[in-house]
Amino acid sequence: MGKLLLLDIDGTLMNSKKEIPQSAKDALIQARANGHELAIATGRGPFMIKRVLSELNIDTFITFNGQYVVNKGELIHKEALDTDTLSKIVEYAEQRDHPIVFLTDERMVSTIDYHPDIDEGIKSLKFPHPAMIEDFHLEHEVYQALLFCEEADQQQYHETFGNMEFVRWHRVSCDITPGGRSKASGIKHLIKATGHGIEDTIAFGDGLNDVQMMEIAGVSVAMGNGEEEVKQVATHVTDHVDNDGLTKAFKQLGLI
């Protein structure tokens, strides 16, 4: 059995222009031809990665940082955020003028009609500012939420909602997921379905939401453009994503 390659998207597969370099596409094709399996591991939702999945012909993915996992097109795990806890976070955030965006498997919805931080953060993902729907989280399964506040304001959420994870992914935003849930927990669900052992996994990433994945994977590769904390826990550090870092890592590891 070949390796299971777990690929983050932003800053790992996609370069600073939000494009997948041709060198990376070629490397993935060759790795697959060499018997390795490809999977996406991202904080994005399923509806946000359709183009990537189609472009790379991948049907296995961990999304919402482990909250929604699909193997070969079949949903094998999903876990929505607790509605009561989410309501408390929304109320707390509203008192501090911190907007929130809810994500389901099909769309994103905002608690506010417009906010410049939401506009900045979501635009960095090449998506428009989401529409507002009042009390959306009370009637839909929300797998992840995005809290919009600056890093200095984040600690109060950790202290107030200790059973939840708040992981920064942007200057003005952090992901909200249940405590103990991450891409690492998503990997555990996935390998049960694929038959791989944890020692057969190789994780590639750059952001703070990749740290747990790096710690659990058999081999882990941090991109040269990655956060320092990610580089510290990874077993390998490759070049910048804009300088063919992914392809260089594949060659170094003998995948191609």
Give catalytic residue positions. Answer: 8
Within 10 angstroms of residue 53's Cβ, the number of other Cβ atoms is 16
- Torsions phi, psi of 92, nearest 5? -65, -45
Residue 93 is inside which H or E element, if any?
helix 83-95
User: By C-alpha distance, which of 83, 24, 85, 34 is closest to 55?
Assistant: 24
CB 95 within 8 A of CB 118: no
Residue 120 is inside which H or E element, if any?
helix 116-123
β-pair type (144-148, 173-178): antiparallel
Quick one: how far is CA 111 from the chain centroid? 22
- C-alpha 141/C-alpha 234 separation (Å) is 33
CB neighbours of 95 closer than 8 A, spacing ≥ 6? none
- C-alpha 160/C-alpha 139 separation (Å) is 25
- C-alpha 170/C-alpha 184 separation (Å) is 20
Quick one: how far is CA 27 from the chain centroid? 21
User: By C-alpha distance, which of 245, 242, 224 is closest to 234?
Assistant: 224
Tokens representing 239 are 């070049």
